[in-house]
Structure 1
Amino acid sequence: MDLNLDSRSESFRQRVREFVKDRLIPLESDRANFDEHENIAPALLRTLREEAKAQGLWCLQLPESAGGQGLPFTGMVACYEEMNRSIFGPVVFNSAAPDDGNMMVMCKVATPAQKEWWLEPVIRGECQSSFAMTEPEEGAGSDPGMTKTRAERVGNDRWRITGRKWFITGAGESKRFIVMARTSDDPRKGLTAFLFRDTDPGWHIVRRIPIMGPEEHGGHCELVFDGLEVPDENVLMGVGDGLKMTQIRLGPARLTHCMRWGGLGRRCLEIGLERAETRSAFGQKLADKESVQMLLGEAAMQLDIGRMLTMRAAWKLDQGDFARKEISTAKIVVADALHRAADTALQLLGAKGYSRDTVVEWIYRYARQARLVDGASEVHRMVIANFLRREAGGFFAWGHHG
């Protein structure tokens, strides 16, 4: 694995970094630039998105044939990290979840007709999309096999969907949806993915669920399906291929979370270090105190470990590997590293860090979800343990050798 970026990826990284430094970070200090849910105001977002498009920084993750820039996963690691040095970053470049993962999987598995009506408006930034898998208690969470929402045949060419979903990111604003539903009781082939529009009848939003952290545009919503009908041509992949589709989607999507979280962690340490270098107490700069150096050193080390694990998983994805254990390992470590970096910065800032005078408080609240979203850390530890049991000594192989 070569940690040097190819020249094209490095060029994009530098351009993204400059855009974030010059256009995005300065906007964070003015509350007028936020909406009521603590995200970037929609009108400002539209302006910045046009600027990102004009500079050729739009959809770095997608193939050029689809309107993106065709970066490899290793290049995405570096660019996504730079994007999320600003809390406004990923959505400006159309690289925020859940659109990010939805677009990538649709590029891989959707039919040409599905791409035309579902995918292309999302790529152009004309609308948002949501992935409706998670369900209320007793239903699907980290285990898609627990899905209770059902799709039943209606006539020869349609499906009727009934059930409930919740914590569906962006659903309050989304115009395009993927919903997971059970079409049989087969443990491997019992789930199917269906595509629909927000204007289709037979479903509604019950509520926008209040959460601890700042929200994505459209929030995290609870949905009821009470007769949504979907034609056969809007089945994604095939009937019974839902579990396979989630595996294709969720692996890369989990890793892009890690890429972005690395940028948030870096931003926290930048703010914390600046405070430590400029603030004096008891006749000594904070940065010269051993206890502060321990805090900064540990936080920086954990972030760097997370970056290396993220890059390793990205490299394996670029080689055509599913990188399941590598992605799970990165997900656990980076989630913890982000929270440590935010906590360290807040501690060094003192009361100012607990206030809303800096973005650290925003990031601190946001960071707590990292150990839950796209599979709790405990679930990913189980994944790793199962690989260890199955592979035995091969678990620690160098490269492709035993």
Structure 2
Amino acid sequence: MDFTIPARVESLRARITDFVARELIPLESDPAAYDAHENIAHDALAAMREKARAEGLWCLQLAPETGGGGLDKQGMAVCYEAMNRSIFGPVVFNSAAPDDGNMMLLEKVATPAQKARWLAPIVAGEVRSAFAMTEPHPGGGSDPGMIRTSAERIAGGWRITGRKWFITGAAEARHFILIARTSDDARRGLTAFLFHADQPGWRIARRIPIMGPEEHGGHCELVFEGLEVADDAVLMEVGDGLKATQIRLGPARLTHCMRWLGLAERCVEIANAYAAEREGFGVRLADRESVQLMLGDLAMKIEVGRLLVMKAAWALDQGSFARKEISMAKIAVANLLHEAADVGIQINGARGYSKDTVLEWIYRYARQARLVDGADEVHKMVLNRHLAAEGDAFWRWSVDEERP
């Protein structure tokens, strides 16, 4: 098995690593660089984005004809990990959720006219976007089949009513992708629609407060009270909403994991640096076996996470939906991130619990990892379904028939 990466990807990784160390890590210690929700402030973000563009590090996940860098999923795994060594990284490179997943979906399935209207402004960094699928009970969450927001046929288009919540980025988004029910068909009952924030017939009921730092635009509850969209706002075909969610959410779950690996490595880095200089009872923390065990265990788990992510990225690049591989990576890396932040804080003691480092920021952010894009338990059930259906073939290797 070939675990090497192309020279071009290594060059991009090195340039991203240098940019993060030079521009973003120092910014994290400046209180003025943060907005009221503990993300990078808009002025600082705009300045950093211009620098990232100038250095050719913008939208690397998209095709060159879309305005991107042409990375495949394996290349993204390498570069996204490097980006998120800083808590500010992904959004600076226009590779942060939810824009990241929305751009990749639109690039893959939108018509040329839709790409010009809905995708190009996100790629250019002129607008932000949101993906409106999750609903409060009894609506759909991890199970899209429970979606109750409905789209009713009208002359020349559709009228949409219903409610969504925990819609990431909605308060600042201008372009939205909305999943609504257009029939009771189990497989083709959902449709994906596009709409603009300025259109009437919908509103933000509230920005939901959360325990951790927030993405720009927060996590919002939306109410649709007769939003009308034209037929050309249908993404793909009527009834293709479930397919659209599958196309979007699989890779999006994996890109979360790619970024979380970078944060986990940052936690180890901060813990290592402190353990090397901090002494207690005449012994450096780094020389204590208990600390060595914690850091060695984390190093191993990070590498396990990297291998799971890279295998899933490879499967996606081969044209697979990679459902098993993505679920395994999502469970492992989400739990790893939480553990890495926890161990980092433990080794740093009171310093780790303070805001003198970004460990507490990462710790609060990390708890959502086991919930977003499917809770751990949902992904474990997915794996069990595959195990029940495949038996021993669950662990089969992909075979290259052209190799002897």
TM-score (ref. length: structure 1): 0.99
Deviations 1:326-377 (A, max 9, x none): 0000000000111111000000111111111110000000000000000001
Aligned residue for 1:76, secondary structure, equals: helix
Q: Distance in 2 between matches of 1:9 and 1:203?
A: 43
Given that 1:300 and 1:341 are in contact with CA atoms closer than 8 Å, whether structure 2 keeps it comes out as no
Kindly provide the amino acid, as one letter, of the partner of residue 150 in structure 2.
Answer: R
Match of 1:146 in 2: 146
Count, aligned residues = 401
Deviation at 1:303, TM superposition (A): 1.2
Any gaps of 5 or more consecutive residues in structure 1?
none
Deviations 1:276-325 (A, max 9, x none): 11111111111111111111111221111111100010011111111110
Q: Distance in 2 between matches of 1:109 and 1:306?
A: 30
Q: Distance in 1 between matches of 2:386 and 2:232?
A: 37
Match of 2:100 in 1: 100
Q: Distance in 2 between matches of 1:6 and 1:197?
A: 40
Match of 2:357 in 1: 358
Q: Distance in 2 between matches of 1:374 and 1:311?
A: 19
Match of 2:188 in 1: 189
Q: Distance in 2 between matches of 1:12 and 1:210?
A: 36
Kindly report which structure 2 residues correspond to 1:214-363, keeping only aligned pairs within 5 A, or say none: 214-363=213-362
Kindly provide the amino acid, as one letter, of the partner of residue 350 in structure 1.
Answer: G
Deviation at 1:401, TM superposition (A): 7.9
Q: Distance in 2 between matches of 1:54 and 1:292?
A: 42
Which segment drifts farther, 286-295 or 210-219?
286-295
Q: Distance in 2 between matches of 1:312 and 1:84?
A: 20
Kindly provide the amino acid, as one letter, of the partner of residue 64 in structure 1.
Answer: P
Deviation at 1:393, TM superposition (A): 1.4
Would you say 1:30 and 2:26 are equivalent positions? no
Kindly provide the amino acid, as one letter, of the partner of residue 170 in structure 1.
Answer: G
Aligned residue for 2:195, secondary structure, equals: strand
Deviations 1:84-120 (A, max 9, x none): 0000000000000000000001000001111111100
Deviations 1:5-25 (A, max 9, x none): 111111111110000000000
Aligned residue for 2:75, secondary structure, equals: helix
Given that 1:131 and 1:177 are in contact with CA atoms closer than 8 Å, whether structure 2 keeps it comes out as yes
Aligned residue for 1:268, secondary structure, equals: helix
Q: Distance in 1 between matches of 2:296 and 2:360?
A: 21
TM-score (ref. length: structure 2): 0.98
Q: Distance in 2 between matches of 1:151 and 1:280?
A: 64
Kindly provide the amino acid, as one letter, of the partner of residue 57 in structure 1.
Answer: L
Deviations 1:146-182 (A, max 9, x none): 1010000112x21000000000000000000001100
Match of 2:4 in 1: 4
Match of 1:387 in 2: 386
Kindly provide the amino acid, as one letter, of the partner of residue 53 in structure 1.
Answer: R
Kindly provide the amino acid, as one letter, of the partner of residue 99 in structure 2.
Answer: D
Deviation at 1:400, TM superposition (A): 3.4
Would you say 1:59 and 2:59 are equivalent positions? yes
Match of 2:111 in 1: 111
Kindly provide the amino acid, as one letter, of the partner of residue 314 in structure 2.
Answer: W
Given that 1:150 and 1:183 are in contact with CA atoms closer than 8 Å, whether structure 2 keeps it comes out as yes
Would you say 1:69 and 2:69 are equivalent positions? yes
RMSD across aligned C-alpha pairs, in angstroms? 1.0
Kindly provide the amino acid, as one letter, of the partner of residue 74 in structure 2.
Answer: T
Q: Distance in 2 between matches of 1:364 and 1:400?
A: 41
| Same amino acid, percent of matched pairs | 66
Q: Distance in 1 between matches of 2:136 and 2:143?
A: 13
Q: Distance in 1 between matches of 2:166 and 2:317?
A: 31
Match of 2:13 in 1: 13
Q: Distance in 1 between matches of 2:13 and 2:351?
A: 31
Kindly provide the amino acid, as one letter, of the partner of residue 79 in structure 2.
Answer: C
Would you say 1:377 and 2:376 are equivalent positions? yes
Match of 1:168 in 2: 167
Q: Distance in 2 between matches of 1:210 and 1:49?
A: 27
Match of 1:80 in 2: 80
Q: Distance in 1 between matches of 2:242 and 2:363?
A: 33
Given that 1:275 and 1:349 are in contact with CA atoms closer than 8 Å, whether structure 2 keeps it comes out as yes
